Amino acid sequence: MIANLKPLEIVLIILVILLLFGAKKLPEMARSLGKSARILKSEAKAMKKDGAESETAADPAPQQPAPRTIQAAPGDVTSARPVSEPNTTKS
Protein backbone atom coordinates (compact mmCIF):
# COMPACT_ATOMS: atom_id res chain seq x y z
CA MET A 1 0.00 0.00 0.00
CA ILE A 2 2.82 2.41 0.83
CA ALA A 3 4.59 1.58 -2.44
CA ASN A 4 1.54 2.84 -4.36
CA LEU A 5 1.96 6.44 -3.17
CA LYS A 6 2.56 9.02 -5.88
CA PRO A 7 5.03 11.90 -5.38
CA LEU A 8 2.22 14.44 -4.89
CA GLU A 9 0.70 12.31 -2.12
CA ILE A 10 4.06 12.01 -0.37
CA VAL A 11 4.51 15.81 -0.48
CA LEU A 12 1.01 16.30 0.96
CA ILE A 13 1.75 13.86 3.80
CA ILE A 14 4.98 15.72 4.61
CA LEU A 15 3.13 19.06 4.62
CA VAL A 16 0.47 17.69 6.99
CA ILE A 17 3.20 16.41 9.33
CA LEU A 18 4.90 19.83 9.27
CA LEU A 19 1.61 21.55 10.05
CA LEU A 20 0.78 19.17 12.89
CA PHE A 21 4.14 19.15 14.66
CA GLY A 22 5.60 22.45 13.54
CA ALA A 23 9.01 23.09 12.02
CA LYS A 24 10.53 23.91 15.43
CA LYS A 25 9.65 20.57 17.01
CA LEU A 26 10.79 18.26 14.19
CA PRO A 27 14.59 18.65 14.68
CA GLU A 28 14.17 18.20 18.43
CA MET A 29 12.07 15.07 17.90
CA ALA A 30 14.61 13.65 15.44
CA ARG A 31 17.46 14.33 17.87
CA SER A 32 15.68 12.62 20.75
CA LEU A 33 14.78 9.68 18.51
CA GLY A 34 18.43 9.31 17.47
CA LYS A 35 19.61 9.52 21.06
CA SER A 36 17.09 6.87 22.09
CA ALA A 37 18.25 4.61 19.27
CA ARG A 38 21.90 4.99 20.35
CA ILE A 39 21.01 4.19 23.95
CA LEU A 40 19.00 1.15 22.90
CA LYS A 41 21.86 -0.06 20.68
CA SER A 42 24.49 0.34 23.41
CA GLU A 43 22.30 -1.42 25.98
CA ALA A 44 21.66 -4.31 23.57
CA LYS A 45 25.42 -4.66 22.96
CA ALA A 46 26.06 -4.64 26.71
CA MET A 47 23.45 -7.33 27.28
CA LYS A 48 24.95 -9.53 24.53
CA LYS A 49 28.43 -8.99 25.97
CA ASP A 50 27.28 -9.87 29.49
CA GLY A 51 25.51 -12.98 28.20
CA ALA A 52 28.58 -14.15 26.28
CA GLU A 53 30.88 -13.54 29.26
CA SER A 54 28.65 -15.48 31.67
CA GLU A 55 28.51 -18.47 29.29
CA THR A 56 32.28 -18.66 28.74
CA ALA A 57 33.47 -17.69 32.23
CA ALA A 58 33.76 -20.95 34.18
CA ASP A 59 36.62 -19.68 36.40
CA PRO A 60 36.69 -15.88 36.15
CA ALA A 61 40.13 -14.30 36.48
CA PRO A 62 40.45 -11.30 38.80
CA GLN A 63 39.91 -8.15 36.79
CA GLN A 64 40.74 -4.56 37.44
CA PRO A 65 37.53 -2.49 37.79
CA ALA A 66 36.74 -0.15 34.93
CA PRO A 67 37.28 3.55 35.65
CA ARG A 68 34.11 5.33 36.69
CA THR A 69 32.83 8.00 34.34
CA ILE A 70 30.24 10.75 34.35
CA GLN A 71 27.87 10.71 31.39
CA ALA A 72 25.51 13.41 30.17
CA ALA A 73 22.80 10.82 29.47
CA PRO A 74 22.52 7.04 29.86
CA GLY A 75 24.34 5.38 27.00
CA ASP A 76 25.99 8.62 25.84
CA VAL A 77 29.65 7.64 25.55
CA THR A 78 30.75 10.69 23.57
CA SER A 79 30.63 13.08 26.51
CA ALA A 80 31.90 10.68 29.21
CA ARG A 81 34.78 11.88 31.32
CA PRO A 82 36.73 10.10 34.09
CA VAL A 83 35.85 10.68 37.70
CA SER A 84 38.61 11.21 40.22
CA GLU A 85 37.71 9.26 43.32
CA PRO A 86 38.70 10.50 46.77
CA ASN A 87 41.46 8.62 48.56
CA THR A 88 39.68 6.59 51.27
CA THR A 89 42.80 4.87 52.63
CA LYS A 90 43.71 6.07 56.12
CA SER A 91 47.32 6.04 57.30
CA 63 to chain centre: 26
Q: Rounded to an integer, what distance in angstroms lies between the CA atom of residue 64 and that of residue 12?
A: 58
pLDDT over 90 at 40, yes or no:
yes
pLDDT over 90 at 36, yes or no:
yes
Does the global pTM surpass 0.75?
A: no
pLDDT over 90 at 12, yes or no:
yes
pLDDT at residue 71, as a whole number: 59
Please give the C-alpha separations between residue 21 and each of 7, 9, 17, 30, 40, in angstroms, as whole numbers: 21, 18, 6, 12, 25
pLDDT, tens digit (0-9, with 9 covering 90-100), for 52-83:
777 665 555 566 776 666 656 666 666 656 66
pLDDT at residue 76, as a whole number: 64
